[in-house]
């Protein structure tokens, strides 16, 4: 390996360890910004879904760790790594990345400002990472009981969201196109909480509504069905979204018990369900 590559790997490891000291879980990345370790199942004729349960490395963001020994082990297995990725959605920060791209014909920064004006929120001072292409990654934190999904262009053209199961290229990483760096004045501050109005925009809308129970009307039954259709990994997100809609429509108190029952059917505990509904009540300005 060339000396410059060795230096890049050493620097990437140092940056990754520094990020881990702040509670961020990381993985080694190649110059293409992809996980440096290949899947151990790549040659299996019919691989079963695996997120690391096999005990081997090479599962992308599911390898992410904030343990220094584990990070050194991952980088030792990938001596060609020149960068590191920071996993989103994990405790303690539950990181959300707002990726303002420059590849589309639209001005993604202007689009975010327009969304902020329209929905009455302000991006607080937070970590901002500058990309080699001229884009920006805005780091925010989310609530522990909310799962923000990844999306591309759903919020607005040129704006991608890195949520649970996604990762952000960490500052100090070197890629084929250049080096990622922290924007001036943001290197020594932590990621700020995501504004409530923006958080609402990041959650997926319900797909359909169904006939209503007499107590809450058609919309209420549709929200209950939306929760019942949740798969593992969607349960808290769907419950939170449905509860927000219920409180906004004035049927929140009447729908608490039906939503809790629906959440229990998806596998959540009653304590988890009621905590998520209480969070939705607070976010929409109601008392749980």
pLDDT of residue 208: 45
pLDDT per residue of the chain (288 residues) written in tens, 0 to 9 = 455 578 889 999 999 999 999 999 999 999 999 999 998 888 777 777 777 888 899 989 999 999 999 999 999 999 999 999 999 999 999 999 999 988 767 789 999 999 999 999 999 999 999 999 999 999 999 998 888 989 888 888 899 999 998 999 999 999 999 999 999 999 889 999 999 999 999 987 654 444 444 444 566 888 888 888 877 667 888 888 888 888 888 898 999 999 999 988 888 888 888 988 988 888 777 776
Is the whole model's pTM more than 0.75, yes or no?
no
- 3-state percent breakdown (helix, strand, coil) of the chain, nearest 5: 35, 15, 45
Tell me how crowded residue 202 is: count the other CB atoms within 10 A of its CB.
21
Tokens of 81: 């790594």
Q: How far is CA 274 from CA 31, 102, 112, 263, 280, in A?
A: 45, 41, 33, 9, 10
Q: Prior bond to 122 cis, omega within 30?
A: no
As separate numbers, helices (DSSP H) first and strands (DSSP E) second, the chain gives 8, 12
Q: What span, in angstroms and rounded, lies between the C-alpha atoms of 29 and 42?
A: 18
pLDDT of residue 238: 84
């Amino acid at each position: 390996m060339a000396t410059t590559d060795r230096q890049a790997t050493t620097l990437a490891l140092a940056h990754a360890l520094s990020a881990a000291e702040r509670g961020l879980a990381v993985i080694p990345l190649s110059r293409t910004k992809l996980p440096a370790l290949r899947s151990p199942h790549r040659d299996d004729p019919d691989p079963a879904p695996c997120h690391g349960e096999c005990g081997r490395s090479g599962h992308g963001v599911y390898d992410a760790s904030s343990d220094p020994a584990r990070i050194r082990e991952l980088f030792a297995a990938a001596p060609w790594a020149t960068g590191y990725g920071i996993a989103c959605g994990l405790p303690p920060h539950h990181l959300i990345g707002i990726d303002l791209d420059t590849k589309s014909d639209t001005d993604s920064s202007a689009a975010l400002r327009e969304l902020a004006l329209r929905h009455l929120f302000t991006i607080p001072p937070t970590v901002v990472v500058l990309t080699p292409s001229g884009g920006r990654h805005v780091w925010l934190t989310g609530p522990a009981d909310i799962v923000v999904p990844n999306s591309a262009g759903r919020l607005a053209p040129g704006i991608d969201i890195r949520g649970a199961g996604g990762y952000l290229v960490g500052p100090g990483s070197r890629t084929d196109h250049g080096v990622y760096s922290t924007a001036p004045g943001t290197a020594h501050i932590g990621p700020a909480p995501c504004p409530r109005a923006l958080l609402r925009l990041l959650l997926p809308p319900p797909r359909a509504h169904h006939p209503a129970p007499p107590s809450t009307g058609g919309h209420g039954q549709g929200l209950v069905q939306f929760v019942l259709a949740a798969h593992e990994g969607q349960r808290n997100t769907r419950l939170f979204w449905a509860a927000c809609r219920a409180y906004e429509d004035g049927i929140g108190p009447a729908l608490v018990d039906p939503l809790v029952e629906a959440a229990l059917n998806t596998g959540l505990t009653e304590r988890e369900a009621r905590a998520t509904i209480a969070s939705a009540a607070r976010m929409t300005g109601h008392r749980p």
